[in-house]
Structure 1
Amino acid sequence: MPSHSPAPLISLTWTDHVTGTKGYLVVDRLVRGVSSGGLRMRKGCTLAEVTGLAQGMTMKEALHFDADDTLARYVPLGGAKGGIDCDPRDPAAYGVLVRFLRALRPYVENVWTTGEDLGLGQDLVDRAAEEAGLVSTVQAVYPLLEDEREARRRLSDAFAVTVGGIGLDELAGGCGVAESTLAALDRAGVAHSGTRVSLQGLGTMGGATARFLSEAGLTVVAVADVKGTIANPAGLDVEALLAARDAHGAVERGALRAEDQELPGDAWLGADAEILVPAAVSYAVDAVNQASIRARWVVEAANMPVLPEAEALLVERGITVLPDVVVNSATNAWWWTLFGDVGPDAEEAFRHIRRSMRTLVDRVLERAAADGCTPRAAAHALATDRLPVMADRFGWYG
């Protein structure tokens, strides 16, 4: 991460008075007084993790900033992130979530817009936010809207849209990951048909990514969840697996076909596939298990899934890592909708996401080729170029 700022603007640790659970909020940067970044819940979440994620959000927002686009209503925000050190399956987790949001209510109301992330679905976050006394988890951005009532109606309508039984809110990010993958394949002259994919995670991001890649003609040969890896060299029935998921993305094994195989949890790493998509937890690929990877591309659908030392070893082996700050940044689609650049329509949203993500991926890969560096380094360079422009135009804090 480029050193655009010596330290986060806000970094706090919260302790639940009932359970002793720790929670964290890091606001890395404000643009027009507001920051954006999801709220995750997982056992073992740390302040360092949340800090890294907040810095990544600053980069994602900067990468979607176009200083020459005077027609766009949405202006990228600052980066932030929240995290709670709790197993989301714990019966006490919902109460912890409500108390966290209640304690951090002043930040949500004024500077931090948030939503679902690892371990938390949007419906659950919205329910907890209402119980905590919040109008919305994105209310800090309302003063920036031209017509708040119309914007809220537009967003509500968009969240009500479903495609093939899955909400548009779940599909937006995965559409961006899939389009990033397809852009890389197209630049390399690799046909979609016959290209194989292995994914870790079939939750919100992984499930949507699997659907869009399958629809594009790629073959999903392996999917890992908390129960293990499901594999089939001839291709898995993605839609059947999506229909058999529980609220946390785990697949009911009764939905598997006779030819589908159940393998150990880490088998997804070494699957015979060209594309590897870590779409679940951070730090999934380390310096040891990266040796199992046979894919040509690792596409980071999750946040920070590949450790730096692992990425260096992958690069040495000729494997390209498409970084999270680029490929999973299509969650910005909701800002495009809220601000009015995109209406509450699935096809309009998908067109905008595909166009924006392909432009961004092409720009990053062109910069990487020109500078002789990795896509991550190229993305950092592009963000470094844009952050001072944003600061000059909007100020560092407000």
Structure 2
Amino acid sequence: MSITWTDHVTGRRGYLVIDRLVRGVSSGGLRMRAGCTLEEVTGLARGMTMKEALHYDPQARYIPLGGAKGGIDCDPQDPDAYGVLVRYLRAMRPYIENFWTTGEDLGLSQDIVDRAAAEAGLVSSIQAVYPLLDDEGAARQRLADAFAVDVDGIGLDELAGGCGVAEAALAALDRAGVPYAGSRVSVQGLGTMGGATARFLAQAGLRIVAVADVKGTIANPDGLDIEALLAARDAFGAVDRTALRPGDAELPGEAWLEADAEVLVPAAVSYCVNTANQRRITARWIVEAANMPVLPEAEELLAARGVTVLPDVVVNSGTNAWWWWTLFGDIDPDADEALAHIRRSMRSLIGQMLARAEADGSTPRAAAHAIVADRLPEITDRFGWHR
């Protein structure tokens, strides 16, 4: 099901696509960016179905939901953006109340989504899932407690996705026998996902040699001070350049692509790696923290050059899964337990995907799709398509 909405005040458009319902409910974030299209949201909704299926464990309390996605064609820094968001959520209220659970995505923080949802008359942006809970009150309190957890100045909700992305990269390095020490990383985007990913990789001993934000690329071949850059971010992930050290260079925006690094982490926008600029990439791995950052045609060319793309449907699925593991009670609102659970799950998924790719002679993305194709019939047999 797809819906196109037009804001009666500004004329801006918004979209909702529900790809699949499981037990009558779907899951997928809401993004806001200038140029967002129905085609983009449709692809993201399909990806959410895959992410949910990849985390299916018949023994767990969390039963994966269907996939969905929302999108608004508006610059989140536009003065009209918040009003557009409130009106969009008000228009989508029947779907959010009954079928679609949503939350932060590109351009929106959970705090802003929560505030706008309340103004739109919603109980919660995830209220459609409440009827599936054994004890709604306890579950909601557990999730609220988890969102209140802070780890060295960053909320656990912001760390969950980046922990999964970092673990995906580390698992790939381990499988290839590449030591962490001396391995270099370039990250596009220092927002929620990119910032947390950079932190975890730096803590593991990798050297972050470049990060890109809306102002350009910051690079240092000897390694950047990630904690200082994280502390100097604004709400949109832009770094205050006064925090740079003497050895840090300011380069053009796309310089992160050609950084002398083993690992590239696109963690900002979709469609940023295309057939033209993929030639500039010398990294061995691209770890997709953002949704759909590498165009399919570019991925084919990269694979032919020996560059491995670890796909978004696996790599950035940690945030979504963490929400549901916490809400359904598979984990407690504790940072150590949550991050350990994310690491175990991501290790398992990356291992299965790369082993399948090797056995099939395919790309990791094709292998991930094959794993989903194996799991969806089991979910369908158990819960049906739309109930």
Q: TM-score, normalised by structure 2?
A: 0.99
Q: CA deviation at 1:188?
A: 0.3
Give the drift of 1:13.
0.2
- Looking at structure 1, the residues matched to 245 and 110 of structure 2 have their Cα atoms a distance apart, in angstroms, of 31
1:217 and 1:334 mapped to 2: Cα distance?
A: 28
In 1: Cα distance, 2:378 partner to 2:146 partner: 32
Equivalence for 2:264:
276
- What's the counterpart of residue 170 of structure 1? 158
- Correspondence for 1:255: 243
Paired position in structure 2 for 1:150: 138
Q: Counterpart in 2 of 1:119?
A: 107
Decide which of 31, 52, 61 is 1:40's aligned counterpart: 31
1:303 pairs with 291, 294, 307, which one? 291
**Match of 2:258, SS?**
coil
- State the distance in 1 between where 2:205 and 2:189 align: 20
Which runs of no fewer than 5 residues in structure 2 stay unpaired? none
Aligned length: 386
SS in 2 for 1:65: coil
> Counterpart in 2 of 1:58?
49
Q: Could you say what secondary structure the match of 1:30 adopts?
A: coil
2:231 pairs with one of 243, 251, 276 = 243
Give the alignment of 1:15-94 within 5 angstroms: 15-66=6-57, 69-70=58-59, 72-94=60-82
Aligned AA (2:83): G
Which secondary structure does the structure 2 equivalent of 1:269 belong to?
A: helix
Partners of 1:216 and 1:341 lie apart in 2 by 26
- Quote the Cα distance in structure 2 between the aligned partners of 1:393 and 1:191: 43
Distance in 2, matches of 1:166 and 1:381, equals 36
Provide structure 1 residue ranges, at least 5 long, that are not aligned to the other structure: 1-9
Residue 155 (structure 1) shift: 0.4
Match of 1:357 among 346, 361, 367: 346
Q: How does 1:300-339 map to 2 (within 5 A)?
A: 300-331=288-319, 332-339=321-328
Question: Partners of 2:360 and 2:157 in 1: how far apart?
Answer: 36
1:391 maps to a residue whose letter is T
Q: Which letter maps to 1:304?
A: M
Distance 2:310 2:12 in 1: 34
Q: 1:301 Cα shift?
A: 0.2
Matched with 1:393 is: 382
- Distance in 2 (alpha carbons) for counterparts of 1:254 and 1:130: 37
Residues 217-273 of structure 1: CA deviation (Å, up to 9, x unaligned): 000000000000000000000000000000000000010001100000000000000
In structure 2, the partner of 1:230 is: 218
Q: Percent identity?
A: 77
Please tell me whether residue 100 in structure 1 is matched to residue 91 in structure 2: no
How far apart, CA to CA, are the structure 2 residues paired with 1:277 and 1:103? Answer: 35
Shift of 1:302: 0.1
Separation in structure 2 between the aligned mates of residue 101 and residue 333 of structure 1, nearest angstrom = 24
Deviation, structure 1 residue 133: 0.5
**Dislocated runs of 4+, deviation >2 Å:** none
Q: Post-superposition shift, 1:187? A: 0.4
**Structure 1 position 346 matched with structure 2 position 350:** no
Cα separation, 2, equivalents of 1:115 and 1:244: 25
- Distance in 2 between residues matched to 1:75 and 1:283, nearest whole Å: 31
For normalisation by structure 1, the TM-score amounts to: 0.97
Query: Residue 26 of structure 1 aligns to a residue in which SS?
Result: strand
Shift of 1:151: 0.3
Cα distance, 1:172 vs structure 2: 0.3
- Structure 1 distance, partners of 2:9, 2:318, is 36
- CA shift for structure 1 position 109: 0.4
